[in-house]
Structure 1
Amino acid sequence: METIDIKNHFKTPLFTHEMLSAFLEPSVSQVNIKIATMVKNGDLIRLKRGIYHLGKRYQSTPIDTISISNMLYTPSYVSFDFALSHYGMIPERVSEVTAATLNHPKLFETPLGRFSYKHIPKEAYALGVDWMYDENNGGKLIATPEKALCDKIRYDRGVGSMTQAQMKEYLVYDLRLERLEMLNVELILLIAHAYRSKNLRTLASLLQKGVNHG
């Protein structure tokens, strides 16, 4: 049993120890040793205990860090700065994958990058989360632009209670946000209610007026 057989069998380059074991057991007598050898040889990349990605020589498509983030820590969805960058709303390229979870905060340093998770309350968790699918990586969860921005504002420790003028300065000069006109104000209001956040209600009010006129 070779690594190329694993690649050809699984639809995605990301899989669990249980998935690998079930596939290898019919033809490999010592499955754990086989997996450890593949990791040592670089055929597989161990992201954390029980989670693996195909090694570089077997990667035929770009690494999907959103799918990796979802699988590393569940339940979770990608949000905050990484999602804002993904949508082209902030000019910076964000290398750390930032996500929201119902569990305790967590940080993973992996060979494929840094993945961090912030806890958010269950009342706000499911609002504004998109499920995306592609043939190479399967399904994945990411915040909508509205939810990513709301999560960012709600958990930015550097801001206090903001007036509309302060919110405008924060959006335009601190975050350097673009494409604000595409945001759904009604969804932001729902998220603001779930978070019980005055700042997010201020955000919605400012967007209703138009940031340029706020």
Structure 2
Amino acid sequence: MDTLDIKNAIKLNHFTVDMLKNILAKEYDQPIQKINYMVKNGDLIALKRGVYVFSEKYRTTSLNYISIANIIHQPSYVSFEYALSYHGLIPERVYTITSASLKKSIEYSTPLGNFSYQKIPAKVYSLGIGWKYNEIDGGYFISTPEKALCDKIYADKRAKNLRENEVIEYLEEDLRIDYEELLKLDSKLVWYIAMGYGSKVLLSVANSLKRIQNG
């Protein structure tokens, strides 16, 4: 079984060692030796222990960094700056893939770039998460624009003592979110997330968004 056969069998661009071993076990008594050979030969790229992607010559589509972020550190969903940029709320291109997780905060430096994870409270974790799926990347999770914003503000030390009359200026000047984008956000969802966080600052954000949206 050569690398192309394995690629056709596994279908995904990225995968865990267990997924790979299940395929290799049909022909190899020691699948891990084959995996180590493929890494040494440059056919596979190890992102962390037990997580791999095929090298560029075996990829038929571009890598989905959101899906990869989900699998490197589980459970997690992409949020914070990367999701804000993805949803078009901030103008900057973000190079570190930022995620929220139920586990400890950690950062991974990989051949594909940096992946950072910040622990958030369990009671708010499931609020405002979107799920997407395709055959190449499988299922993956990314925050809604509202959840990405709430996660970012809750973690931002600059916002700890933010007053309600300062919210819009903070969103426009500090986070550099365009006013027109603020008008598109679901203030009710922000309110629910704020309640989950138990955050007065986020409640002020929800109230401020509702005020400008109602004119």
TM value normalised by structure 2: 0.95
Is the CA contact (8 Å cut-off) linking 2:14 and 2:52 kept in structure 1? yes
Deviation string, structure 1 residues 96-116 (Cα, Å, up to 9, x no partner):
011011111111111111111
Mean Cα displacement is larger for which, 158-167 or 63-72? 158-167
Aligned position for 1:144: 144
| 1:211, distance to aligned residue in structure 2 (A) | 7.2
- SS of the residue corresponding to residue 194 of structure 1 reads helix
Q: Is 1:113 matched with 2:113?
A: yes
| 1:11, distance to aligned residue in structure 2 (A) | 2.6
TM value normalised by structure 1: 0.95
Is the CA contact (8 Å cut-off) linking 2:98 and 2:116 kept in structure 1? yes
| 1:196, distance to aligned residue in structure 2 (A) | 0.8
Deviation string, structure 1 residues 46-76 (Cα, Å, up to 9, x no partner):
0111111111111111111111111011111
Looking at structure 1, the residues matched to 57 and 195 of structure 2 have their Cα atoms a distance apart, in angstroms, of 48
Is the CA contact (8 Å cut-off) linking 2:154 and 2:160 kept in structure 1? no
Aligned position for 1:71: 71
Task: Name the CA shift for 1:87/1:102 in 2 (closer, same or farther; >3 Å).
Answer: same
Aligned position for 1:31: 31
Is the CA contact (8 Å cut-off) linking 1:42 and 1:56 kept in structure 2? no
Is the CA contact (8 Å cut-off) linking 1:45 and 1:53 kept in structure 2? yes
Percent identity over the alignment is 46
Looking at structure 2, the residues matched to 160 and 154 of structure 1 have their Cα atoms a distance apart, in angstroms, of 8
Matches within 5 A, 1:15-164: 15-164=15-164
Looking at structure 1, the residues matched to 197 and 78 of structure 2 have their Cα atoms a distance apart, in angstroms, of 18
Mean Cα displacement is larger for which, 20-29 or 181-190? 20-29
Consecutive unaligned residues of structure 2, counting only runs of 5 or more, are none
Aligned position for 1:192: 194
Q: Which amino acid aligns with 1:186?
A: K
Aligned position for 1:203: 205
Q: What is the alpha-carbon root mean square deviation over aligned residues?
A: 1.5
Consecutive unaligned residues of structure 1, counting only runs of 5 or more, are none
Aligned position for 2:168: 168
Looking at structure 2, the residues matched to 212 and 96 of structure 1 have their Cα atoms a distance apart, in angstroms, of 36
Looking at structure 1, the residues matched to 2 and 93 of structure 2 have their Cα atoms a distance apart, in angstroms, of 37
Alignment: residue pair count: 213
Looking at structure 1, the residues matched to 214 and 61 of structure 2 have their Cα atoms a distance apart, in angstroms, of 41
